[in-house]
Amino acid sequence: MQVTTSVEGRALEMRVDGGRLWASLMDLAAIGATAKGGVCRLALTELDRQGRDLFVRWAEQAGCTVRVDGIGNIFARRAGTDPGRPAVMTGSHIDTQPTGGKFDGNYGVLAGLEVIRTLDAAGIQTRAPIEVVVWTNEEGSRFTPVMMGSGVHVGAFTLAHALAQTDAEGVSVQQALQAIGYAGLAPAGPANAAGAYFEAHIEQGPVLENHGKVVGVVTAALGQRWYNVRLTGMEAHAGPTPMELRKDALLVAGRLIAEVNRIATTRAPHARGTVGSLQVFPNSRNVIPGQVTMSVDLRAPDDAQLLAMDQDLRAACERFAHEAGIAIAVEQVVSFPPQPFAPPLVESIRAHANDLGYSAMDVVSGAGHDAVYLARVAPTAMIFVPCADGISHNEIEAAEPEHLEAGCNVLLRAMLAAAEVQA
């Protein structure tokens, strides 16, 4: 049996305060609370300012030094004993969708704050600094692109580009940041890269709940390819045109929808294929559809699988076009590469979840998160906890206090392992 020093022993016994975490989540959710129990706190609005101010107050009360960068990202830093070490960072976002919930994003930020409060209460110091970050405009509801603050942080696009974006009323990101007092002076960009980045988040899907698991060990974020597919046949009268002489674009679109489904279901469990939008021309009851434009969304956890799905889609389009005597054009409009998370951090999360006695399973992230950008500049991993019925981006979004506490305990352990306890 290994003998541990008293500080290390105390660090192992330390647990987060689930009640305090829950109370903070509810306090933050009161800002922008909706009648149906959700939250509407769009990025860089007056309500966002109030939410940010509350976080900053809490972070300063916990002894953190707070800085804000040029895109409004908030960094709350708990000093380490070794100033030369890069920070071990965690965070997420507190902006919401117009009909958002209490937990999406907010959980990751407040779980990070709870880690700091727990360290303070136990009197534990770490060698590396610990930072909790609030990333600006993750949701992309008021301003596009999504994941704006983390995107600037990793250099996915420039600060100037982000600041110039405008909302539906013509208000720019720069104006909105100045209006709420969060146009910060700290340099925005990848210069202050973290030693490690963790993000705790509700799953926003049904997998953990279906398997009865409490902690999701996120191994990767799915790569995404989005397409516009245009099928061009021939409009003709629905009565006089015999079945064998038609060039019905919608009929072929129907086959293609089933094929997109097959392309993903034959690559279970992680591949996804979705047709979510169709425009039919001329969209008239008694005209054979001459043209259809449809969206295709393909997702997979690795490059090889995503490429094979792309090839299957294109081959099916060629085959169907040939068989039906119509034209099908495939245009790829968006591409995000699959993002594997750092294996040592993933393993750390898995080991600590097991050590703490939580039921855990490996999962992939099907949605985008700030962590997906952070993984480009720092070793990164995510922790998922279940949300009721897998529902998110909805006012009825719900999560169990003990699940949130469990994910936060795993976060605490994984961050301590990365930051190292000062003996």
Question: What are the residues binding Zn ion (CB under 5 A)?
Answer: 104-105
Shortest reach from residue 39's CB to Zn ion, in Å: 12
Shortest reach from residue 267's CB to Zn ion, in Å: 26
Shortest reach from residue 356's CB to Zn ion, in Å: 24
Q: Which residues contact 148 (CB under 8 A, 6 or more apart)?
A: 43, 71, 135, 136, 137, 138, 140, 162, 165, 173
- Contact status, residue 311 vs residue 198, Cβ threshold 8 Å: no
Q: Of 119 and 220, which CB lies nearer to Zn ion in the complex structure?
A: 220
Shortest reach from residue 257's CB to Zn ion, in Å: 29
3-state SS, one letter per residue, for 246-277: CCCHHHHHHHHHHHHHHHHHCCCCCCEEECCC
**Best CA proximity match to 371, nearest among 41, 33, 91, 7:** 91
Sign of the alpha-carbon torsion through 45, 46, 48, 53 = positive
Q: Of 154 and 183, which CB lies nearer to Zn ion in the complex structure?
A: 154
CA 260 and chain centroid, separation: 24
Other beta carbons within 10 Å of 57: 11
Written as six digits, the tokens of 330 are 């495939």
Q: Of 306 and 382, which CB lies nearer to Zn ion in the complex structure?
A: 382
Sign of the alpha-carbon torsion through 181, 183, 186, 189 = positive
Q: Of 131 and 138, which CB lies nearer to Zn ion in the complex structure?
A: 138
Q: Of 104 and 397, which CB lies nearer to Zn ion in the complex structure?
A: 104
Q: Of 105 and 273, which CB lies nearer to Zn ion in the complex structure?
A: 105
Shortest reach from residue 68's CB to Zn ion, in Å: 20
Shortest reach from residue 54's CB to Zn ion, in Å: 18
**Best CA proximity match to 374, nearest among 164, 130, 149:** 149
Q: Of 113 and 288, which CB lies nearer to Zn ion in the complex structure?
A: 113
Shortest reach from residue 96's CB to Zn ion, in Å: 9
Q: Of 230 and 393, which CB lies nearer to Zn ion in the complex structure?
A: 393
Cα gap 330→353, rounded to integer Å? 44
Shortest reach from residue 107's CB to Zn ion, in Å: 9
Q: Of 80 and 108, which CB lies nearer to Zn ion in the complex structure?
A: 108
Residue nearest to Zn ion according to CB distances in the complex: 105
Whether residue 343 has a cis bond before it, omega within 30° of 0: no
Written as six digits, the tokens of 299 are 């997702």
Q: Of 41 and 78, which CB lies nearer to Zn ion in the complex structure?
A: 41
Shortest reach from residue 93's CB to Zn ion, in Å: 6
Which residue in this structure is represented by tokens 């727990």? 118
Shortest reach from residue 216's CB to Zn ion, in Å: 14
Estimate the share of the chain in helix, then strand, then coil, as percent rounded to the nearest 5: 40, 25, 40
Collapse the DSSP code of 91 into the 3-class scheme (helix H, G, I; strand E, B; otherwise coil) and give the result. Answer: strand
Task: Identify the burial level of 234 via C-beta atoms within 10 angstroms of its C-beta, where 0-12 means exposed, 13-18 middle and 19 or more buried.
Answer: middle
